[in-house]
Amino acid sequence: MKYLERKWQTLKVTESGVRMKTYEFDMNAIVNNYSFKKEKPLLKMIMLGILAGAFVAIGAASSNMATHAITNVGLAKTLAGCIFPVGLIMIVFIGGELFTGDCMMVFGTLDRRYSFLSIFPTLAVVYLSNLIGGLIIAMLVSTSGQFHYTEGLLGAYTIKVACGKVGLHFWEAFSSGILCNILVCVAVLMAAAAKDITGKIALIFFPIFVFVIGGYEHCVANMYYISAGIFASFNPVYTQKAMDTYGITSAQIESLKSMDILTHNLIPVTLGNIVGGMLFVTIPLYVIYKSRIIKNSDKPEIIKVS
């Protein structure tokens, strides 16, 4: 996720001698980076997964906090889009293994370095670790008393968000998951290509900003949103306020404690994220740039850029 070799080219643009610089993805570096993930020690992978899940959850919790009292939907989404990207920014700079980005491990499969099925144990470890991180933050936010803000409106809003996610139809959640991970994977690759901290932050920010405004579904973020909604639903004050303010029904609240969490959200969203990352980003990029991969090289040069 965080490795690219910069290959700058100087191109003559006009007869006046004006020149510009461009860069190319080094597919060899990318493939080696994602292949290396399979070799990481299990404990390290778990810890990095927990961190990533927690960082995404912090971004999600903060965006809920900032928008819970805003009635204008467009304004609320715009503000949330400005705040939520902090999760991925922290992952890129501090370190972390995020399930959605790690779907690009299929680069190694396409390059015949390992089988397609062999990546799923690693993805499963990362997925469960992300879930642990999200649950930890949801529990801490719940016990911190933050849901009391605005006379319990934040708790009610948290329930509303969770119910909205659990109320999706399968194909809605699946399609939204595809769109989400196209943007997340593009953000990761763009950030890796940036030259400096400012560039990395900007290139992470804008694709994630777009995905939040679009309302697309991210399985790791939903681990927090749904868990936080469940915790908030145990408080009768928040549930009553959710019913009074947002028209949430008791049946919707009960759905937070049923298999609807999986069948209406986490399963279709996760599948959509996999398809978005693998089919819509990884495969096209591999086909376009595969001629640049160094064959029969023991340890090609990899430059860490984040």
pLDDT of residue 258: 92
CATH of the domain at 228: 1.20.1080.10
For residue 61, which of 165, 188, 154, 167 has the smallest C-alpha distance? 154
Any domain includes 3: no
Question: Does residue 50 contact residue 132 with C-beta atoms inside 8 Å?
Answer: yes
Any domain includes 89: yes
User: DSSP letters along 102-169, please?
Assistant: HGGGHHHHHTTSS-SGGGHHHHHHHHHHHHHHHHHHHHHHHHTTGGGHHHHHHHHHHHHHHHHHHT--
pLDDT of residue 294: 65
Alpha-carbon dihedral sign for residues 189, 172, 221, 202: positive
Domain that holds residue 122: 9-292
| DSSP SS3 for 181 | helix
pTM here is 0.88
- Pairwise CA distance, residues 36 & 191, whole Å: 19
Any domain includes 305: no
pLDDT of residue 42: 95
Number of domains in the chain: 1
278: its two tokens: 């693998």
| Residue ranges of the chain with per-residue pLDDT less than 50 | 1-23, 296-306
pLDDT of residue 298: 46
Q: Which residues have CB under 8 Å from 288's CB, separation 6+?
A: none
pLDDT of residue 291: 76
Any domain includes 2: no
Rounded alpha-carbon distances, angstroms, from residue 100 to 56, 142, 146, 185, 203: 11, 26, 28, 7, 17
- Pairwise CA distance, residues 101 & 205, whole Å: 15
